[in-house]
Amino acid sequence: MNKTLLVLRNELYTVFSRRTFLFTTFGLPLIAFLIFQVVARMNNNSPQVLSTLLSDPTQSEKQGFVDTGGFLVASDETGPQAFLVSYIDEAAALADLNAGEISAYYVIPEDFLDTGELYFISSDFNPLAASEASWVMKFSVLTSLLDGDVDTAQRINHPMNLEVKSLAPPEQQRDKSNMLFFWIPYATTLIFYIVILGSASLLLNSISNEKQNRVVEVLLLSVRPRQMLTGKIIGLGIAGLAQTILWVGTGYTLLTLSGRTYDLPENLHLPISIVAWGLVFFILGYAVYASLMAGLGALVPNLREATQSTIVVIFPLIIPMFFLAQLIEDPHSVFSISLSIFPFTAPVAMMTRLSAGGVPSWQPVLAAVLMSLTAWLVINAVARMFHAQNLLSGQSFSTRRFFKALFVGN
Partner 1 sequence: MNKLWHVAFQEYKRHVFLKRFIFSLLSLPLVIGMMLLLIFVMELSENDPRPLGYVDHSGVLAQAIPVPATSRFDHLVDLVPYDDEAPARAALDSGEIQAYYLLPPDYLETNHVTLVYVRDIGSNARRQFVDFLQLNLLAGRPDNIVDLAMEGPEVIVRTPDGSREFSRSRMLSLLLPVFASMALVILILTSSGYLIGAVAEEKESRTMEILITSISPNQLISGKLLGITAVVITQALSWLFFGALFIFIGGSYFGYEWLQDARMDFSTVVVIIAVMLPTYVLFAALLTAAGAAVSAVQEGQQIAGFFSMLLWIPFMLLQHVMESPNSPLVVGLSLLPVTSPMIITMRNFLTIVPTWQVVTSVLLSSVAAAGAVWLAGRSLRAGMLRYGQRLKLGELFKRS
User: Applying CB under 8 A, which residues contact partner 1?
Assistant: 52-57, 94, 97-98, 112-131, 134, 137-138, 141-142, 145-146, 152, 155-156, 158-168, 303-304, 307-308, 322-323, 325-326, 329-330, 332-333, 335
For partner 1, give the closer residue by CB, 70 or 259: 70
The nearest distance, CB 168 to partner 1, in angstroms, is 6
The nearest distance, CB 245 to partner 1, in angstroms, is 25
Under DSSP, is residue 59 helix (H, G, I), strand (E, B) or coil?
A: coil
The CB density around residue 295, as the number of other CB atoms within 10 Å, is 27
The nearest distance, CB 395 to partner 1, in angstroms, is 15
The nearest distance, CB 137 to partner 1, in angstroms, is 8
Instruction: Provide φ and ψ at 330, rounded to 5°.
Output: -135, 70
Closest CA to 216 of 204, 228, 227: 228
For partner 1, give the closer residue by CB, 25 or 291: 25
For partner 1, give the closer residue by CB, 127 or 259: 127
* Residue 254 contacts residue 35 (beta carbons within 8 Å): no
What is the H or E stretch that residue 292 is in? helix 272-299
Sheet containing strand 63-67, edge to edge, reads 85-86, 63-67, 104-108
Instruction: Provide φ and ψ at 138, rounded to 5°.
Output: -65, -40
Rg over alpha carbons for the chain, rounded to the nearest Å, is 31
The nearest distance, CB 409 to partner 1, in angstroms, is 25
Query: Rounded to whole angstroms, what are the CA distances from 344 to 162, 320, 323?
Result: 40, 10, 15
For partner 1, give the closer residue by CB, 55 or 361: 55
Instruction: Specify the length of the chain in residues.
Output: 410
The nearest distance, CB 325 to partner 1, in angstroms, is 8
Name residues whose C-beta falls within 8 Å of residue 298's C-beta, 6 or more positions apart in sequence.
207, 211, 382, 385, 386, 390, 391
Cα–Cα distance between 184 and 351 in angstroms, integer? 11
* Residue 384 contacts residue 295 (beta carbons within 8 Å): no
The nearest distance, CB 123 to partner 1, in angstroms, is 6
For partner 1, give the closer residue by CB, 5 or 316: 316
Tell how strand 63-67 and strand 85-86 pair up: parallel
For partner 1, give the closer residue by CB, 158 or 262: 158
> Which residues is 106 bridged to in the sheet?
65, 120
The nearest distance, CB 333 to partner 1, in angstroms, is 6
The nearest distance, CB 380 to partner 1, in angstroms, is 30
The nearest distance, CB 126 to partner 1, in angstroms, is 5
Tell how strand 63-67 and strand 104-108 pair up: parallel
For partner 1, give the closer residue by CB, 76 or 163: 163
Q: In the chain, what is the straight-line distance between the N-terminal and C-terminal CA atoms, in Å?
A: 26
Cα–Cα distance between 383 and 380 in angstroms, integer? 5
For partner 1, give the closer residue by CB, 226 or 332: 332
For partner 1, give the closer residue by CB, 116 or 259: 116
The residue type at 289:
Y
The nearest distance, CB 257 to partner 1, in angstroms, is 27
For partner 1, give the closer residue by CB, 335 or 376: 335
Cα–Cα distance between 57 and 51 in angstroms, integer? 11
CA angle 395/401/404 to nearest 5° reads 150
For partner 1, give the closer residue by CB, 146 or 223: 146
